[in-house]
Structure 1
């Protein structure tokens, strides 16, 4: 690939797309010792893990994932990403606006693995 592509800022989180996140909560918190940072009912349960986050997500929240692990990379913007992804053999699945949280661009790599690029929302004007 040519051109200067800015690397991701960090791994923002890795989440498990689960049929029943609430039933997995005890395992991730108790058996693995992950401290809970945030919970949105049974839709999203987020834990701290060093400098990143690990989360359990309901299938609706994880769309288009149907199960398994999803790596989320935080980026500054999505400029040129869809074209680069397609040119490299990947497939863009869609963009989800999450309002004040930011936006997520979901994609498959050339082998069909699900990834997401996360762009944080701009800070609100004071």
Structure 2
């Protein structure tokens, strides 16, 4: 590994289901499990606060590339050296997505093919 030091994730930021029919799943999760909606982006993303983390439903367009099932999202302070660390450790970088004022995600596949994302919050707006 070159001089890049791995920075441990701060917390598990989110786990989401890549859903073919997120509205239908939203109806299920609220009715069957009593999840309380924390945030939604139309019919594309439904997010519920559970303890100190989030559980979400994402339409396929919002999910990580090639995602199916559950995806773990780890919040990090930055992406410095992450792509190199991922590939050196046997993973595959799938791409980065800028989400504007929400932040950005770096999607990756672990050595067994599981999809993960690193989430970096956008800096606060200048005062």
TM over 0.5: yes
Q: TM-score range by the shorter chain?
A: over 0.9
Give the total of aligned pairs.
126
Structure 1 114/66 Cα, relative in aligned 2: closer, same or farther at 3 Å?
closer
- Residue of structure 2 in register with 1:72 after alignment: 73
- Residue of structure 2 in register with 1:105 after alignment: 106
**Consecutive aligned runs of 4 or more in structure 1 exceeding 4 Å deviation:** none
- SS in structure 1 at match of 2:62: helix
TM-score normalised to structure 1 length: 0.95
TM-score normalised to structure 2 length: 0.94
Cα separation, 1, equivalents of 2:64 and 2:9: 22
What stretches of structure 1 of length at least 5 have no aligned partner?
none
What stretches of structure 2 of length at least 5 have no aligned partner?
none
CA contact (8 A) 2:4 2:85 kept: no
- SS in structure 2 at match of 1:22: helix
Cα separation, 1, equivalents of 2:9 and 2:64: 22
